[in-house]
Structure 1
């Protein structure tokens, strides 16, 4: 099978960048710098969501499905610096050329990785290949690559299911729960920064990992809907994920499974 890589990122405000762009004194704490940026953003746009390029990547979590099975893993700070997190992610694409799957990856995750990759001097020729690279199958990438919106080498499920209409988009948490999956467990995106400030880094990683499993489960149903999988194959895929999580250490997986009841036949 063609390997499938579902990914999600978690970010915090780029405090160093904010200091640089706004010429802020070192006497201000990281929390004060971030709060100033949030206040400016609220005044400009009515919400405190910072521009993509001011999001510092602290975690990339992946759910990886291949002939070898299903596994979940993370590239995360503080064990890795931002540049190493992003480079290792793109190195995986370089080696494996998987199908990428995300929820709003085209609207958020990938643009952030583009900007932060530039800032960190990242190399990602496979990802940017549009038919002109040195790979043996580069010509195929002219018609199906990672960066063109309507190509399937990257499937942004949120965007595709909404038929590329922002007003029709749905949140992952709601869709997962409506389909009988756990949805977000233990955290939400707006809590990442305060959680980081407390030094509770593992909570951020765990939260991101449960998000990619939710996304994979929704993608599995999408593959059923478009005829790529039979009902029996889709059910077997869910069973594989459940079994894998049962055998994977981590309190977040026990909590996730507790919120995912077995469907009665």
Structure 2
């Protein structure tokens, strides 16, 4: 079975904001400020979080577990277009038909990817299959909230109750995993303005590492991994991060006790 743990990072869709709100002629920071202000107005000052259809994807990171292989990476290159990133994500589903694993993927990542794929004219038949072409997808597909082809850990662990949902960072730390390393999602826009796309991609990779580790613990709880197998998967990941030996992976390892 192939497992693909994924996470996305986004910024405001500035071109979309210009088009919808008549902001042509303004600079990027001015457009974003206007979009944040409009969102605060819409929510009565409760939030400036941009709605899903106006989020632009700037990074997609993944952990792929396939047979004896394990990989942790960010899709595309630092200068890849949004369309290229989104296409690569859905191409991976076409190729591997993996079980998708996310944290709040049903509530954020996947709806954003739906809108961006629609915008860019991206074909993703495997992802949208619900049994019309392949019967196995009728009762277990990527779209069904209670199916297992996409496991939104936040939703599942909360018993599908939004009131019981928890942040990945806190759950990861409670389990002894590193949690956020280097930055948070709220820093992405300012890091993007500063041209720090590599830092954003690195941060996204540490998020999928935390998600993958929570997933392994979840699989142990479900009875799908015995204790020895769970420990083996953790050691496999440690070994991979040591072998790749990048600064954010070293920082992640330093914050992850050997006994956990």
- What TM-score, normalized by structure 1, do the two folds share? 0.95
Question: Does the Cα contact within 8 Å between 1:59 and 1:85 map onto a contact in 2?
Answer: yes
| 1:83-122 paired onto structure 2 within 5 Å | 83-122=83-122
| 1:227-242 paired onto structure 2 within 5 Å | 227-242=223-238
Deviation at 1:25, TM superposition (A): 3.0
Match of 1:244 among 221, 240, 245: 240
1:254 aligns with 2:250: yes
| 1:62-77 paired onto structure 2 within 5 Å | 62-76=62-76
Match of 1:29 among 12, 27, 30: 27
Question: Does the Cα contact within 8 Å between 1:3 and 1:98 map onto a contact in 2?
Answer: yes
Paired residue for 2:19? 20
Deviation at 1:77, TM superposition (A): 6.1
Mapped partners of 1:174, 1:231: distance in 2: 23
| 1:1-265 paired onto structure 2 within 5 Å | 2-26=1-25, 28-45=26-43, 46-76=46-76, 78-133=78-133, 138-263=134-259
Unaligned runs of at least 5 residues, structure 1: none
Question: Does the Cα contact within 8 Å between 1:63 and 1:73 map onto a contact in 2?
Answer: yes
SS in 2 for 1:190: helix
Question: Does the Cα contact within 8 Å between 2:76 and 2:88 map onto a contact in 1?
Answer: no
Mapped partners of 2:104, 2:3: distance in 1: 17
SS in 1 for 2:244: coil
- What TM-score, normalized by structure 2, do the two folds share? 0.97
Mapped partners of 1:76, 1:53: distance in 2: 22
Deviation at 1:249, TM superposition (A): 3.0
Mapped partners of 1:96, 1:71: distance in 2: 14
Structure 1 stretches of at least 4 aligned residues deviating more than 6 Å after TM superposition: none
Mapped partners of 2:156, 2:192: distance in 1: 32
Mapped partners of 2:103, 2:77: distance in 1: 22
Deviation at 1:23, TM superposition (A): 1.3
SS in 2 for 1:182: coil
- Structure 1 pair 31–76 and aligned structure 2 pair: CA distance change class (3 A): farther
Deviations 1:65-84 (A, max 9, x none): 11132111112564211111
Mapped partners of 1:108, 1:247: distance in 2: 32
Question: Does the Cα contact within 8 Å between 1:76 and 1:205 map onto a contact in 2?
Answer: no
Question: Does the Cα contact within 8 Å between 2:78 and 2:198 map onto a contact in 1?
Answer: no
- Structure 1 pair 13–77 and aligned structure 2 pair: CA distance change class (3 A): farther
Question: Does the Cα contact within 8 Å between 1:59 and 1:77 map onto a contact in 2?
Answer: no
Mapped partners of 1:139, 1:25: distance in 2: 48
Mapped partners of 1:100, 1:54: distance in 2: 24
